[in-house]
């Protein structure tokens, strides 16, 4: 078992990648649907499924071509099983099953969140086990104790909106567009993060759950109260909102690592590309005497390289999925 074809279609990116021995990325192709969903301010599941159907075969062919291999040189197939949009997941999942069956190679369904953790483990200097990992994206915000490549324990998770979802909703409310994370981050660069004191939702400070619906509401309320002036404060609103979210994320991650006596932390997921978050985690970790492990920016968003990497270790351990396996929409055991 050496060369794995990875396929990812959990949300609005159709992705395929070829990875050798779980760490060497031979190719990684991502077909984005941002232009399709931007007019709606978020992902429309039906449109996402249709675009996946159009893109899946060309994306896989391009991944093989860029890797310099033929389909016959694929040793195994790994595909995202969930969580995600069921219709979108089924496109990649069904394609992967058929592809593996046609090639007569083993295949395995991979938890999307486990894939994100592997984006950190694919770095040139991966963290030793165990480590505390913050997985933060548009659909998920959780902290895990990662004890091995297949053993992850949830330490805390969001009780309502994910952090990335809050970015998208605030961006939409301000009329900035989609996806909100990148737009707000760029706008925040020219704003004062301390100009507006938005609330921090700490919940139980001894635990590591999150809640971001309150700050989203607080931003909307600020815009209502300052109806005639907020348009001139967009940069300050963006910076202050981002500051409130990042402070909670970074602080809870460091506290979680302290609680298990672990001097290593990692951040993964789409929001891991946020420069403010990367800087804050690095600063707090340095003060606490911890090492920080961050994925390459290209591996923060949804991609198939991380799925292929996670799949490699599953297949190498003898795990192979049956053809009657199905997708799932919500978080399941890794």
Per the annotation, where are the binding residues for substrate?
135-139, 168, 181, 274
Residue of 9, 23, 20, 15 whose CA lies nearest to 68: 20
Backbone angles phi, psi at 222, to 5 degrees: -60, -40
Phi, psi of 281 (to 5 degrees): -65, -40
How far apart, in whole angstroms, are the C-alpha atoms of residue 89 and residue 329? 8
Number of neighbouring beta carbons within 10 Å of residue 12: 25
Which tokens belong to 238? 């963006």
The token pair that represents 169 in the structure block: 């909703």
Q: Beta partners for 210?
A: 158
Q: What's the rounded Cα separation, in Å, for the pair 87 and 218?
A: 33
**115, 80 contact by CB (below 8 A):** yes
| Start-to-end CA span in the chain (Å) | 22
Point out the annotated binding site: 112, 116, 135-139, 168, 181, 274, 302
Rounded CA-CA distance 329/221 in Å is 32
3-state DSSP helix/strand/coil % of the chain, to nearest 5? 45, 20, 35
C-alpha gyration radius of the chain: 20
Binding residues for Fe cation: 112, 116, 302
Place of tokens 């209502």: 224
What stretches of 68-177 show up as alpha helix (H) in DSSP? 86-103, 112-121, 163-173
In angstroms, rounded to a whole number, what is the distance separating the alpha carbons of residues 146 and 129? Answer: 7
- What DSSP assignment string belongs to 272-328? GG-HHHHHHHHHHHHHTT-EEE---GGGTSS-SHHHHHHHHHHHHTT----TT----
């Amino acid at each position: 078992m050496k060369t794995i074809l990875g396929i990812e279609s959990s949300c609005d990116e159709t992705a395929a990648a070829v990875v050798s021995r779980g760490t060497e990325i031979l190719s990684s192709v991502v077909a984005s649907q941002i232009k399709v969903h931007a007019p709606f301010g978020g992902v429309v599941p039906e449109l996402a499924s249709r675009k996946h159907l159009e893109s899946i075969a060309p994306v896989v062919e391009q991944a093989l071509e860029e890797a310099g291999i033929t389909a016959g040189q694929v040793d195994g197939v790994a595909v995202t099983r969930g969580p995600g949009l069921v219709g979108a997941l089924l496109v990649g999942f069904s394609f992967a099953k058929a592809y593996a069956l046609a090639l007569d190679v083993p295949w395995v369904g991979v938890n999307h969140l486990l894939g994100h953790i592997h984006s950190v483990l694919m770095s040139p200097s991966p963290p030793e086990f165990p480590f505390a990992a913050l997985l933060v994206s548009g659909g998920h915000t959780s902290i895990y104790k990662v004890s091995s490549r297949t053993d992850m324990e949830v330490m805390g998770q969001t009780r309502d909106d994910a952090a990335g979802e809050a970015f998208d909703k605030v961006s939409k409310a301000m009329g900035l567009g989609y996806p909100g994370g990148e737009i707000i981050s760029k706008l925040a660069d020219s704003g004062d993060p301390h100009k507006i004191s938005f609330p921090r939702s700490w919940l139980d400070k001894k635990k590591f759950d999150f809640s971001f619906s309150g700050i989203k509401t607080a931003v909307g309320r600020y815009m209502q109260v300052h109806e005639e002036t907020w348009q001139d404060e967009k940069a300050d609103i963006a910076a202050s909102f981002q500051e409130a979210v990042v402070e909670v994320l970074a602080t809870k991650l460091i506290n979680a690592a302290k609680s298990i006596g672990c001097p290593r932390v990692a951040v993964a997921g789409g929001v891991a590309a946020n420069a403010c978050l990367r800087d804050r985690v690095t600063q707090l970790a340095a003060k606490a005497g911890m090492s920080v492990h961050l994925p390459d920016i290209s591996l923060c968003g949804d991609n198939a390289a991380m799925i292929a990497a996670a799949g490699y270790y599953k297949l190498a351990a003898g795990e192979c999925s049956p053809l009657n396996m199905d997708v799932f929409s919500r978080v399941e055991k890794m």
